[in-house]
């Protein structure tokens, strides 16, 4: 579940670099918020896969069904947060120097975290539990 945090941090740092925004306190606050969303997305995915395994599904079937079933909730979480921060990311008025880094980190980090959560997390789950398939 916590593997989403490095995925998110990578995207946040890359977004700051692409927009040529220095690391600041408000960007740090963005990283904190981002870590919470990344862990939540991982928790949604892994907990559903585990519940499918407890129902008796094979490892492959549980991962496949879990990833497909939780695709919409993970994408909705990411889209709501990302779209909500777009006005802050493009702001130019008073206080924009505080808003832009925070919004940039959250948008970039959520996008990278979501993609990697949907693609890499099921793979990591499979690698961690491949021995249990023989049971």
pTM over cut 0.75: yes
What pLDDT band is residue 78 in, cutting at 50, 70 and 90?
confident
Q: Would the pLDDT of 100 be above 80?
A: yes
Q: pLDDT tens digits for 19-47? A: 999 999 999 999 999 998 889 888 989 99
Say what percent of the chain tops pLDDT 70: 96
88: nearest Cα among 41, 43, 21: 21
Complete DSSP assignment for 48-100: HHHHHHHTT--HHHHHHHHHHHTHHHHHHHHHHHHHHHHHHHT--STTHHHHH
């Amino acid at each position: 579940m916590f593997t989403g945090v490095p995925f998110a941090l990578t995207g946040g740092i890359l977004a700051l670099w692409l927009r040529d925004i220095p690391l600041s306190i408000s960007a740090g606050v963005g990283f904190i918020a981002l870590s919470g969303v990344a862990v939540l997305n991982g928790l949604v995915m892994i907990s559903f896969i585990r519940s499918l395994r407890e129902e008796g599904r094979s490892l492959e079937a549980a991962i496949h069904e879990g990833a497909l079933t939780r695709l919409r909730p993970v994408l909705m979480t990411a889209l709501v947060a990302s779209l909500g921060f777009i006005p802050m990311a493009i702001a130019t008025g008073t206080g924009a120097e505080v808003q832009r880094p925070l919004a940039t980190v959250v948008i970039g980090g959520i996008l990278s975290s979501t993609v990697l959560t949907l693609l890499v997390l099921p793979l990591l789950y499979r690698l961690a539990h491949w021995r249990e398939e023989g049971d």
